Amino acid sequence: MPTSKQVSAAYKLAQQAYADLGVDTEKAIKAALNIPISLHCWQADDVRGLETPKTGLTASGTMATGSYPGRARNGDEMRSDLDQVLKLLPGEQRLNLHAFYAETGTDIVDRDEIEPQHFARWLGWAKSHKIGLDFNPTYFNHEKANSGFTLSDADKNIRKFWINHAKASRHIAESFAKTLGTPSVINHWVPDGAKDAPADRYAPRERLAESYDTIFADKSVNTKLCVDAVEGKLFGIGSEEYVVGSQEFYSNYALSRDKVLCLDLGHYHPTESVADKVSAHLQFHKKLLLHTSRPIRWDSDHVVILDDAVRNLFLEIARGDSWDRVYVALDFFDASLNRLAAYVIGARSTRQAILLGLLDPTKLIQGAENSGRPHERLALMELTRSLPWGAVWDELCQRDKVPAGADWLKEVASYESSVLSKRV
């Protein structure tokens, strides 16, 4: 692995290579470190949650596959794992919590009754690390989601339960923001849909819109502190044919209700470019929530890597200078490999894509395009693929006092040996 001197020497060469194209690497490093990435807590425990066990539950649209040893079994183990992860990540981080990670002790508190006090330990942890908390109502893995429908269920009482859960969740997000001094983004995703072709596609979508309208009618929540986002999906487990909350539904709903639209890289057809959607949506939507994930065949939630989809997404944001109009979060769960390594790979890949966007010689490339020199534009775009961005990344890591290159693997191996291997 490179020494500190080797990293610095390589960086100086890279700095000059980028300067020749009009790119200030110092400015790019600073900006890349300051863009928050919200880590998802559910990678640590395979999306199981911390609720007092109940009977009659189904996955309701989520499933982590694999049996790699070391899964976190309680909140303390999750926070311990996240402590280690944070040591290996450069830049500003946040933590994204789902509602079913409430810690209620021996008390059974159903989701329509959760309160900020049930997340006190998470809040204390976030304060100790000086990071913000984001939040998600958990509309799955509950007996009242076993029909495959929640906010769009035909049963009024089922809808009322989930509406009350969402209202409680919004107040929790607001309390996080008040305590931590940073807005909490609360993302609404429901698994509602049908495995086969339904006879009526209209009524569930009408009910879903009505449920959200009821949820957001609660004006006691400060929407500058609790930032509501809504997320669609192409299909899911048990909703292969029909998803009530489709991309079209949520795009229109968010726009008409002044909510943030969430774009998840794993929730589209494989031939669709999420990067291409950014400039289209930002003509009309004030902000977007971006979930970096990786789809493979039917599964939308593989560990993020630095593939073209992730690179192009943040390149598009950079070329539109839209950094202040997006929130960035991770969303994947994989139980087939070391879960800490999954966090580190996914988070570092996402920040690498952010850095690559900031290192793009956009003015030069767009100048060639605007001057009618498409051959020059294409040649410059291809040149960016071989520029020494890795040396800039290593310098970024070194400055933020985290391992550069693959040095972090040693610490993950040590933690697995001393901590994870003892979890049976």
290-329 per-position pLDDT tens digit: 999 999 887 788 999 999 999 999 999 999 999 999 999 9
Confidence of residue 331 (pLDDT cuts 50, 70, 90): very high
Q: Name all contacts of 81-84 with Cβ < 8 Å and 24+ positions apart.
A: 81/44, 81/339, 81/340, 81/343, 82/39, 82/41, 82/44, 82/125, 82/343, 84/340, 84/411, 84/412, 84/415
| Neighbour count for residue 76 (Cβ, 10 Å) | 12
Tokens of 397: 């890591």
Question: What is the pLDDT at residue 54?
Answer: 59
Could you tell me if 313 and 353 are in contact, meaning their C-beta atoms sit under 8 angstroms apart?
Answer: yes
What confidence tens digit (pLDDT) does each residue in 338-362 have?
999 999 999 999 999 999 999 999 9
**Residue 243 confidence class, pLDDT cut points 50, 70, 90:** very high
| Per-residue model confidence (pLDDT) at position 72 | 97
pLDDT band at 62 (very low <50, low <70, confident <90, very high): confident
Position 55 pLDDT exceeds 50: no
Catalytic, out of 51, 264, 360, 394: 264
- Which pTM was predicted? 0.96
Q: Which residue, among 121, 136, 53, 109, has the nearest Cα to 82 in the 3D structure?
A: 121
- Write down the domain spans for the chain: 36-361
Report residue 344 as tokens: 């580190």
Alpha helices in 284-338, H assignment, sequence order: 308-319
Amino acid identity at 180: L
Q: What is the mean pLDDT of residues 249-260?
A: 98
Q: What is the mean pLDDT of residues 5-22?
A: 97
* Candidates 110, 112, 240, 299; catalytic one: 299
CATH class of 36-361: alpha beta
Cα–Cα distance, 12 to 321 (Å, whole number)? 26
Structure confidence by residue, pLDDT tens digits, 174-228: 999 999 999 999 999 999 999 999 999 999 999 999 999 999 999 999 999 999 9
Q: Residue 396 and residue 83: Cα distance in Å, rounded?
A: 21
Catalytic residue among 189, 389, 393, 408: 189
Choosing from 134, 153, 174, 231, the catalytic residue is: 231
The residue-averaged pLDDT of 79-92 equals: 98
Distance CA 356, CA 397 (A): 14
Task: Give the pLDDT band (50/70/90) at residue 56.
Answer: very low
The dihedral sign for the CA sequence 262, 146, 158, 184: negative
What's the whole-number mean pLDDT along residues 351-376? Answer: 97
**Active site includes 189?**
yes
Active site residue 231: yes
Count of residues making up the chain: 424
Residues 6+ apart with CB under 8 A from 140: 59, 60, 61, 62, 150, 190, 191
Q: How far apart are CA 398 and CA 405, in angstroms?
A: 10
* Catalytic residue (one of 40, 167, 233, 277): 233
Q: Is residue 293 helix, strand or coil?
A: coil
- Residue of 40, 142, 259, 267 with catalytic role: 267
Residue with tokens 């997320």: 231
Which phi and psi (to 5°) does residue 181 adopt? 75, 25
Q: Which of 81, 134, 153, 301 does the annotation list as catalytic?
A: 301
Q: What is the pLDDT of residue 394?
A: 98
- Mean pLDDT in the chain? 95
For residue 284, which of 249, 259, 313, 312 has the smallest C-alpha distance?
259
pLDDT surpasses 60 at 110: yes
pLDDT in tens, 133-155: 999 999 999 999 999 999 999 99
Residues whose CB falls within 8 Å of the CB of residue 272, separated by 6 or more in sequence, listed in order: none
Whole-number pLDDT of residue 234: 87
Confidence grade of residue 60 (pLDDT, cut at 50, 70, 90): low
- Annotated active-site residue 98? The verdict is no
Residue 252 sits at φ, ψ, to 5 deg, of -70, -40
Predicted pLDDT at 58: 52
- Separation of alpha carbons 415 and 84, rounded Å: 8
Does residue 393 carry a catalytic annotation?
A: no
The number of angstroms, rounded, from the C-alpha of 294 to the middle of its chain's C-alpha atoms is 11
